Amino acid sequence: MSNSFIPTLALTSGEPAGIGPDLCVQIAQQSLACKLVVIANRELLLTRAQQLKLPLDLIDVSATTPGPHAAGSLQVLHVPLAEPALPGVLNPANASYVLTMLNHAVEGCQTGRFDGMVTAPIHKGVINDAGIPFTGHTEYLAELTHSSVVMMLVGGGMRVTLATTHLPLKDVAAAITADSLESKLRIIQGDLVTRFMLDKPRIVVAGLNPHAGESGHLGREEIDIIIPVLHKLRAEGMHLTGPIPADTLFNPSQLKHYDCIFTMYHDQGLPVLKHASFGGGINVTLGLPIVRTSVDHGTALELAATGRAHSGSLLAAIEMAIQLARNHTAFLHNAP
């Protein structure tokens, strides 16, 4: 399967009071190497286009559009808002709207209607304010697809994966278990092979504690948990290095030897990657039965409808989803 394959991607427009709708309107202004279906409220997109002074022609999702996405239009799967959305003003009444968009995208991917999904940013707090327990995109998609997942951020020449995601720092150490680390490393290995087309991926693992525990003097998680897991998986043929202290791991002379970095918690790996790539980074969910990418930033409520939001991360996420969909299709096509 070559790069001539034109995937169909679903794009969820995110929190309606944030910059997600703006980014969808901005993306509509350029040609893309995919068919793109934006899942959103039609009137919201048209209003934002007027506020941004950008042209926008909306095409109903039922219409057949030949070839890839053309600049100036958007194919839209309409979802009703509970209440009109005001730029920058969160409204818990619209929390179910945000989740409905995700549900449509996942269902479309599972039925083959879409070859992957891309998500604009959402606001976790307002969903919880609506009385809906919600940790984040990654966890919600895992629950919908009954999958074990790993969060990966791509940018600045790095692929950074996380052993734990949205946890208070005080809870991280207890969440670092042998079973969890082994499961996540197997997911990372599998997707690097089948989605990123790396035959023998090289994964470097960060320690949890300062100096990777300093031989047990600064914590024993490395000795008792991380190192035994690495020994087990190396014996199966996985290319694993570590655990390496996080304060030296991100040296460019180290990174050039690895395809992926496995860090123990959210703010151990992501600040470095976002420093190197903010505005152009990508969030990829590994372990799902579907392709899913996202932006690496939040809803930026203060920028909604101002024209000051930048669509670079969303464009990168779309381009990554195109490539991952092509890679996965090629892998399945060539599988024995």
Q: Tell me the three state secondary structure of residue 189.
A: helix
Pair (249, 111) in one structural domain: no
At which residue do the structure tokens 């790996």 appear? 269
Nearest to 44 by CA among 21, 20, 74: 21
Estimate the crossing angle of helix 312-334 against helix 178-194, to 10 degrees: 80
Whether 333 is covered by a domain: the verdict is no
| pLDDT (tens digit per residue) in 71-117 | 889 999 999 999 999 999 999 999 999 999 999 999 999 999 999 99
Confidence at residue 295, expressed as pLDDT on a 0 to 100 scale: 94
Name the residue with tokens 């959103």. 40
**Is residue 109 in some structural domain?**
yes
The answer to whether position 334 is within a domain reads no
pLDDT digits (tens, 9 = 90+) for 294-308: 998 999 999 999 999
Q: What is the pLDDT of residue 64?
A: 67
Structural domain of 116: 1-147+289-326
Which pLDDT score is estimated for 3?
67
Instruction: Tell me what the mean pLDDT of segment 276-299 comes to.
Output: 92
pLDDT of residue 278: 74
pLDDT at 187 > cutoff 50: yes
Query: How many domains is the chain partitioned into structurally?
Result: 2
Query: pLDDT category, 2, cuts 50, 70, 90?
Result: low
Distance CA 264, CA 81 (A): 38
Measured on CA atoms in the order 80, 81, 83, 85, is the torsion positive or negative? negative
The neighbour count for residue 144, using CB atoms within 10 Å, is 17
Q: What would the DSSP string read from start to end of 273-304?
A: HHHHHTTT-EEEEET-SS-EEEESS---GGGT
Could you tell me if 156 and 81 lie in one domain?
no
CA 56 – CA 21 distance, rounded (Å): 12
pLDDT at site 332: 75
Instruction: Convert the pLDDT of each residue in 233-245 to its tens digit.
Output: 999 999 999 999 9
Rounded Cα gap, residues 251 and 282, in angstroms:
21
- According to the model, what pLDDT value does residue 319 have? 96
pLDDT at 188 over 80: yes
Q: Note the pLDDT tens digit of each residue in 138-168.
A: 899 999 999 999 999 999 999 999 999 888 9
Residue 160 lies in a domain: yes
249-276 pLDDT, tens digit per residue, is 999 888 999 999 999 999 999 999 989 8
Question: In 3D, which of 238, 223, 139 has the Cα closest to residue 178?
Answer: 223
In terms of domains, do 199 and 246 share one?
Answer: yes
CATH number at residue 3: 3.40.718.10
Question: Token digits for 213?
Answer: 């525990």
Given a contact cutoff of 8 angstroms between Cβ atoms, the answer to whether 85 and 44 are in contact is yes
Same domain, 104 and 48: yes
Q: Look-up: residue for tokens 């100036």?
A: 72
Q: Which two tokens stand for residue 39?
A: 């899942």
Instruction: Spell out the residues 6+ positions from residue 50 whose beta carbon is closer than 8 angstroms to its own.
Output: none
DSSP-derived 3-state class of residue 258: coil
The DSSP element (H or E) to which 158 belongs, if any, is: strand 158-162
Specify the pLDDT at position 277.
86
Position 255 in a domain: yes
Tell whether 205 and 259 lie within a shared domain.
yes
Q: What is the pLDDT of residues 59-80, one digit of tens each?
A: 988 766 667 888 889 999 999 9
> Per-residue pLDDT for 1 more than 50?
no
